[in-house]
Amino acid sequence: MISGTSRGLWPRRRAPLPLRTFSLPPALRRKTAAVILLLTVVVSAYALKVTVNNKIPIEGFACARKLTKDDEVTTDELDGMPWTQGVTRVAALTGAGISTDSGIPDFRGPAGLWTKDPAAEKMSTYQVYVSDPAVRQRSWQARLVHPAWAAKPNAAHLALAQLANSPIDTHVITQNIDGLHQKAGAPADRVMELHGTIYGVVCVGCGARTEMAETLVRVRAGESDPPCADCGGILKSATVMFGQALDVAVLSRAATSAQNADLFLAIGSTLTVEPAASLCAVAVKGGAKLVVINRDPTPYDGLAVATIRQPISEAVPAIVSRLLSPTA
Ligand SMILES: NC(=O)c1ccc[n+]([C@@H]2O[C@H](COP(=O)([O-])OP(=O)(O)OC[C@H]3O[C@@H](n4cnc5c(N)ncnc54)[C@H](O)[C@@H]3O)[C@@H](O)[C@H]2O)c1
Ligand SMILES: [Zn+2]
């Protein structure tokens, strides 16, 4: 499971405290030490829970409910939906489902890569990748023919880009690695790539970053598992694999966008990969209305004011056009 990390979040070491200027009686000292130890254990256990399993259970929300068929709406029913009115700040979390209409298969959908071939999930696991040269060779062959290179943004990417260039303050938080939001014209500073990008390559040894295109030239020329030109280390795409930590700065920007949004759109994601999925709960906690646009049910549907099951490339343009002319 992709997990967040608290590294870098701890306060820096402070200067040494001045020497003790008073002393407690020994019995009281023992009690104080016991209380401090207990507090330390409780705080550490809480911190561990938050960082290792940072899914926020939706049962804790007063607005959580069990959905019925009536909670599903279509874009023909957007008229009069209060969540389309007066929106000034939007955050959109996008998953693989937004890019299937651009010809990039998802992983867990009915025709998904992992649904058809469960063993393929291993290729996205960091520990397997770094320990098995055969997996790396297969990964480089797969990167050579990745559908992202030829893919064009579809109507949903274009609509979100239009929103991101409009007066509505819009942030796109994506789990995708395909660069299609930027290709559609969304300003780069409005797109947060939680799981990195396939357009970059990173060395697991020295951290050097290079362009994917340069490395693919080497693979085409016969290097089946090209090593880092600087240190000879293992190269991988600049994407976050299972077992790797997310970039704390990107995750924290995404959490701020979710927290500040008044409308949070979760688009084309099973909402099962954490901590990305928990951003839905962060948004609702911050006061946003959550709308889930996905063919299949998700664990966060019970927090949503509406769920839309239509094809994403139809639904998202309809929602965006309503947001841009709310009274139409
Ligand atoms: N395009 C990409 O960059 C890409 C592609 C595959 C996987 N991934 C990575 O794999 C992970 C998979 O997680 P995920 O939860 O985003 O995707 P997922 O594959 O787990 O789920 C995609 C969801 O979208 C739905 N869906 C697909 N096409 C749709 C359509 N046209 N209309 C409506 N619903 C549609 C599916 O039914 C499914 O529920 C992501 O974190 C991402 O990093 C990225
Ligand atoms: Zn290196």
Per residue in 155-175, pLDDT (tens digit) is 999 999 999 999 999 999 999
pLDDT of residue 7: 31
- Which pLDDT value is given to residue 49? 33
CB within 6 Å of ligand 1 — which residues?
A: 95-97, 99-101, 104, 106-109, 112, 175-178, 195, 268-270, 273, 294-296, 311-312
- How far apart CA 96 and CA 175 sit, in angstroms, is 7
Average pLDDT over residues 74-91: 92
Question: Is-contact 293 315, C-beta < 8 A?
Answer: yes
Question: In the predicted model, what is the mean pLDDT of the chain?
Answer: 84
Ligand closest to Cα of 196 equals 1
Identify the residue with better confidence: 198 or 65. 198
List the residue whose alpha carbon is closest to atom 29 of ligand 1: 97
C-alpha 208/C-alpha 230 separation (Å) is 8
Mean pLDDT of the 21-36 span: 52
Q: DSSP strand E in the chain: where?
A: 89-94, 169-174, 191-193, 196-203, 209-211, 235-239, 263-267, 289-293, 306-308
**Ligand minimally distant from the alpha carbon of residue 202:** 2
pLDDT (tens digit, 9 = 90+) per residue, 48-66? 333 323 444 555 665 666 6
Q: Which helix (H) or strand (E) holds 194?
A: none
Q: Answer with the residue of higher pLDDT: 110 or 49.
A: 110
Coil, helix or strand at residue 184 = coil
pLDDT of residue 166: 98
pLDDT recorded at residue 51 = 31
Lowest mean pLDDT among 22-31, 88-97, 198-207: 22-31
Average pLDDT over residues 315-319: 98
List the domain boundaries for the chain: 27-56, 57-104+152-195+247-328, 121-150+201-239
Looking at residue 55, its pLDDT comes to 45
Which of 17-21, 142-146, 156-160, 263-267 has the weakest average pLDDT? 17-21
Return phi, psi of residue 242, to 5°: -60, 135
Could you give the percent of the chain with pLDDT greater than 70?
78
CATH number of 121-150+201-239: 3.30.1600
**Residue 195 known to be catalytic:** yes
Q: Work out the number of other CB atoms within 10 angstroms of the CB of residue 161.
A: 24
DSSP label of 277: G
CB 236 within 8 A of CB 177: no
Which of the residue ranges 215-219, 294-298, 324-328 would you say has the lowest mean pLDDT? 324-328
pLDDT at 119: 78
Contact status, residue 233 vs residue 265, Cβ threshold 8 Å: no
pLDDT over threshold 60, residue 147: yes
Mean pLDDT of 264-277: 95
* CATH fit for domain 57-104+152-195+247-328, picks 3.30.365.10, 3.40.50.1220, 3.90.1150.10, 3.40.309.10: 3.40.50.1220
Residues 186-216: b if buried by 16+ CB within 10 A, e if exposed: beeebbbbbbbbbbbbbbeeeeeebebeebb
Q: Given ligand 1 and candidates 74, 94, 98, 107, which is best to mutate, with the most ligand atoms within 8 Å of its CB? A: 107
Which mutation among 94, 102, 106, 246 tests ligand 1's pocket best, with the greatest number of atoms within 8 A of CB? Answer: 106
